[in-house]
Structure 1
């Protein structure tokens, strides 16, 4: 039996009310965004759809409607109207030294498809309203991950639009400090 002779006074401090919904699938992230908001679109020629994807424009548009939009809505998906964007998001996060847990909100994605050019070609768009990307510190300093960030042209702090809120809060509250009294002050 363990006999405890010491009493510790620990003050619990919550730095976040969790409305930021960090690492959670939340409507606020889907509606207002968090981090960077990205929209990508492309027109894929009918020949490519047939030869490479081995299907038709009409079939892809129907599949997107039934699976990505209707199926996801019926399942109650929150910001997940796509075909596994989280797989790609996780792969990029691991390759670039990100916190993989950020995948939860960063993989919010809506994929839209429609036939264009008299139904011959496929217009596809992907909307991701809350991609969170770190470019300094943590895993971004590892050689391979740093090289991937350099390849993407996003390594390091932005000189044009520096944010720094996260860094400022870490410096203010000094996460690495063993003196907890600094956090409470």
Structure 2
């Protein structure tokens, strides 16, 4: 895969991997049949055949891999696919539906498709699977903040922000048993971006999984901040992206980013989302570490009093 880098006024980002997933669940006559299906699907020579069947339904979608999980007589087949500039769930669903029909007709007549989605996709729900393996676009973004900027602009210190990030975002979230919630408020930013740019707001659940890291560098003088987001699910075509307001916002967000090949737009949008989350994490952690969170809300977020 080609790695993609964009710099946002000092912050940089990379798309690490991409793949929209769908995981149908099937039932086989016995556990032995289920094991046979898993072994057959995962044989290295099968992927080219499955890719050919999948590609018969789409110009831009490409099947990347299939993982099979057995639970008794049930087999969950997690397909991962690239989808060009579309978020791609419908594209992937159509292709996999064709693959499942081919499997049943030509290879496993005893196979019974229970559902095109068996919840191992996993869509619109928190999941360790997405946290570990990713879904949609897996993105990392980072920036160096000089000590002068932290003190003069953010009104705190690099050491205070680094300490707070460990105690709140890392240890606090671990003590709460969080899955992918090792951040201050990534969901706030992801939801705003999704609503503005025509994305599926329900996919905020997995798209907001994020770990924020703040590290002292240059002998403790400066601060390096990064966010790692394994499952940002976005597209620049399809769905709500065609609405006038969404099109305008997408144009503003992506106007200066080259989009020469299919998929460049969606990858760029995922990097914009990660870069915006990065800024939001810096803002909130600075406000908390300086003790300005409530005073700022009181000063800036209250309706002015009216006189009669």
Q: Larger strand proportion, structure 1 or 2?
A: 2
The equivalent of 2:181 in structure 1 is 80
How far did residue 135 of structure 1 move? Answer: 1.7
Distance 1:22 1:153, change over 3 A: same
The equivalent of 1:169 in structure 2 is none
Aligned Cα root-mean-square deviation (Å): 1.9
Relative contact order: is structure 1 or structure 2 higher (C-alpha 8 Å, sep ≥ 6)? 1
Paired with 1:47 and 1:32, the residues of 2 have a C-alpha distance of 38
- Structure 1 residue 61 corresponds to structure 2 residue 151: no
Paired with 2:155 and 2:161, the residues of 1 have a C-alpha distance of 10
How far did residue 19 of structure 1 move? Answer: 0.5
Paired with 2:146 and 2:184, the residues of 1 have a C-alpha distance of 21
How far did residue 112 of structure 1 move? Answer: 0.4
Q: Is the deviation greater in 105-114 or in 141-150? A: 141-150
1:160 to 247, 254, 262: 262
Q: Is the deviation greater in 87-96 or in 128-137? A: 128-137
1:94 to 195, 199, 202: 195
Aligned residues: 149
1:28 to 129, 142, 161: 129
Q: After TM superposition, what 4+ stretches of structure 1 lie above 4 angstroms from structure 2? A: none
How far did residue 116 of structure 1 move? Answer: 0.6
How far did residue 160 of structure 1 move? Answer: 3.3
Unaligned runs of 5+ in 1: 1-11, 163-185
How far did residue 150 of structure 1 move? Answer: 2.1
- Structure 1 residue 121 corresponds to structure 2 residue 222: yes
The equivalent of 1:141 in structure 2 is 242
- Structure 1 residue 49 corresponds to structure 2 residue 150: yes
Q: How does 1:8-23 map to 2 (within 5 A)?
A: 14-23=115-124
Distance 1:158 1:107, change over 3 A: farther
Paired with 1:56 and 1:134, the residues of 2 have a C-alpha distance of 38
Corresponding residue SS for 2:115: coil
Paired with 1:48 and 1:121, the residues of 2 have a C-alpha distance of 9
How far did residue 51 of structure 1 move? Answer: 1.0
Corresponding residue SS for 2:142: strand
Corresponding residue SS for 1:144: helix
Corresponding residue SS for 1:39: strand
Paired with 1:28 and 1:110, the residues of 2 have a C-alpha distance of 15
Deviations 1:55-107 (A, max 9, x none): 11110000000000000000011001000100000000001011100000000
